[in-house]
Amino acid sequence: MKKTLLQIAFLASALCAHAQEKPNVVVMVVDNLGWGEIGCYGGGILRGAQTPHLDNMAKEGTMLLNYNVEPQCVPSRSALMTGRHPIRSGTTKVVWGMLYGMTQWEVTMAELFSDSGYATGMFGKWHLGNTPGRFPTDQGFDEWYGIPDSTDEVLYPTSDYYDPKETNASSIYDARKGQPAKKVKTYTLADRPLIDHDLTEKTMDFMERQVKAKKPFFAFVPFTQPHLPTLPHPDFKGRTGKGNYADVLEQIDAYAGRILDKVDSLGISENTIVIWTSDNGPEQIEGHHGTAGFWRGNYFTALEGSLRTSFLVRWPGKIPAGRKTNEIVHTTDLLPTFASLAGYKVPADRMIDGKDQLDFLLGKKKKSNREGFPVYNGEEMYAYKYRDYKMHFIKLDSMFGAPQKLNMPQMFNLIKDPKELYPLDKVDVADAWFMAPVTKRVVEFQKSLMVEPPIRLGTPDPYTPTKK
């Protein structure tokens, strides 16, 4: 029986209304901001700049005290995008001068959002591939404006010994799905202070366009600050009187506030979940260095200061306001958690390490669905974190230090010893009970790598997995 035009119009209207019931998702990720920087995590004015917008976001939503990432930029972003530990994906570390990033076989959350009817936009730093086929618009994003690699590259051409024949200068790209990514301009030291302002503007424009189109959206906003060189926008230069880092901290807060205010002014706050977090612990290079606050360590290590980053989530009327929790959550958890929101299916043809944390974030459960996770730095497991404990297999206290393979693992109670200074074998041998459950989980994870062999760093496309 043929449908009348009226029936077709009604069906289309119903489908559009159903589509808009799906919540919008905004994920802001700053680059190398330590756990202890913003006010609600103990920083703020102690770091030379107040952070009122982010502090207010913490009051309006939930604040995770034990949100964990990977020790380096590339693996953190890979884990977020795929829900898989980077050792599986061949995205284990930052590299230069070679093919890197995710193979096209990997399935990103952007692809899953897109398949579920979402508009997908990314505005910022990718660091998951800088060659055609591995740009964001090749991996599920409808549009992208930003940089493919790291911001420190803007400094390279300032060297007296820089040779442009050996390496290309970094560029800012503008891209659309299905089209070649276009270089807008060279990403220079002069552009470095300006880019996050542009990312903020483009994010707000993207959200406004999707609201007008009545289409649910996923906006991924990986800002470039405060990664070195930490240089504030001219509007913020000198604002705090406490130096560049404090000025940038105030800038970070202001840009997050602008995006939050835009969500509110568009009238979509009750149908939009907003997350604000960092990809890594703080930088260690002097002059651009940050702080992990309560914890010890910088990125490129397995210390808590490397793994724990700030994480704020707001969804008015859905996520509890003013809640703080020390339950363990890992960046891989976001992909399966968003599946419950967006209605997409988590890939079943590969190992997925993330846990669905939606009920936990909504306050329906007090406990996280995760008790621990392995900590890889490159291709080696440096540690395993389990409940309130950490077992280190390789000791590394500084990103510039020499890794020391331990004959006997060092064990730490993170409640009694948050800075991981006093191994339990010297303090409280009774706490060594946790070696058994940790070892069991280490073995289980290593067995999973035999079932699904890891993709090797530098693997070209096309890639076809092999399973044993």
Mind listing the pLDDT tens digit for each residue in 369-391? 999 999 999 999 999 999 999 99
Residues 251 and 224 sit within 8 Å (Cβ to Cβ)? no
* Structure-block tokens of residue 468: 């044993």
Tokens coding 77: 């972003």
CA nearest to 369, candidates 329, 342, 340, 414:
329
* Residue 56 burial (C-beta neighbours within 10 Å; 0-12, 13-18, 19+): middle
- Cβ contact 337:361 at 8 Å: yes
Q: Cβ neighbours of residue 414 under 8 Å, at least 6 residues apart?
A: 304, 388, 389, 390, 420
**Burial of 94 by CB count in 10 Å (0-12 exposed, 13-18 middle, 19+ buried)?**
middle
Quickly state the pLDDT bin for 236 (edges 50, 70, 90): very high
At 161-210, the pLDDT tens digits run 999 999 888 999 999 999 999 999 999 999 999 999 999 999 999 999 99
Residue 230 contacts residue 245 (beta carbons within 8 Å): yes
Token output for 331? 């960046």
The mean pLDDT of 211-221, rounded to a whole number, is 98
Q: How far apart are CA 111 and CA 113, in angstroms?
A: 6
> Confidence class of residue 466 from pLDDT cuts 50, 70 and 90?
confident
Predicted confidence (pLDDT) at residue 135 exceeds the cutoff of 60: yes
Query: What is the arithmetic mean of pLDDT over 432-457?
Result: 95
* Averaged pLDDT score across all residues of the chain: 94
Per-residue DSSP letters for 105-121? TS--HHHHHHHTT-EEE
Q: Which two tokens stand for residue 188?
A: 């220079």
> Are 295 and 303 within 8 A, CB to CB?
yes
Under 8 Å between Cβ of 466 and 453: yes
Q: How far is CA 145 from the centre of its chain?
A: 17
Binning pLDDT at 50, 70 and 90, where does residue 257 land?
Answer: very high
- Indicate the pLDDT class of residue 253, thresholds 50, 70 and 90: very high
Whole-number Å distance between alpha carbons of 100 and 74: 9
Cβ–Cβ < 8 Å for 146, 199: yes
* Token duo for residue 135: 């740009």
Q: Domain 22-372's class?
A: alpha beta
Q: Are residues 23 and 271 in contact, defined by beta-carbon separation less than 8 angstroms?
A: yes
DSSP code of residue 269: G
Q: Quick check: 6 pLDDT over 90?
A: no
Best CATH choice for the domain 374-443 from the list 3.30.530.20, 3.40.50.300, 3.30.1120.10, 1.10.150.120: 3.30.1120.10
Give the whole-number percent of the chain exceeding pLDDT 70: 95
Quote the pLDDT of residue 321: 98
**Which has more pLDDT, 11 or 120?**
120
Q: What is the pLDDT of residue 468?
A: 60
**Segments of the chain assigned to CATH 3.40.720.10:** 22-372
Element (H, E) at 460: none
pLDDT at 329 over 70: yes
pLDDT of residue 77: 98
**CB-based contact 87:70 (threshold 8 Å):** no
pLDDT surpassing 60 at residue 17: no
Q: Which two tokens stand for residue 21?
A: 């019931």
Tokens 């200074």 correspond to: 421
Specify the pLDDT at position 16.
Answer: 46
Instruction: Kindly tell me if the per-residue pLDDT of 80 is higher than 80.
Output: yes
| Beta pairing, strands 143-147 & 329-330 | unpaired
Ramachandran region, residue 25 (left: φ > 0; alpha: ψ -120 to 50; beta: rest): beta
Q: What is the pTM of this model?
A: 0.94
Residue pointed to by tokens 């079932």: 451
268 has pLDDT over 60: yes
According to CATH, where is 3.30.1120.10 located in the chain? 374-443
pLDDT of residue 430: 82
3-state secondary structure 285-309: CCCCCCCCCCCCCCCCCCCHHHHEE
pLDDT above 70 for 325: yes
| Positions of E strands within 214-263 | 217-222
- Summarize pLDDT for 67-76 with one digit per residue, the tens: 999 999 999 9
What H or E segment, with its residue span, contains residue 220?
strand 217-222
pLDDT reading at 15 higher than 80: no
The pLDDT confidence band at residue 273, using thresholds 50, 70 and 90, is: very high
| pLDDT (tens digit per residue) in 286-304 | 999 999 999 999 999 999 9
DSSP annotation of 238 reads T
Q: Is the distance from CB of 398 to CB of 281 less than 8 angstroms?
A: no
Task: Please check the confidence at residue 106 and state whether its pLDDT lies above 90.
Answer: yes
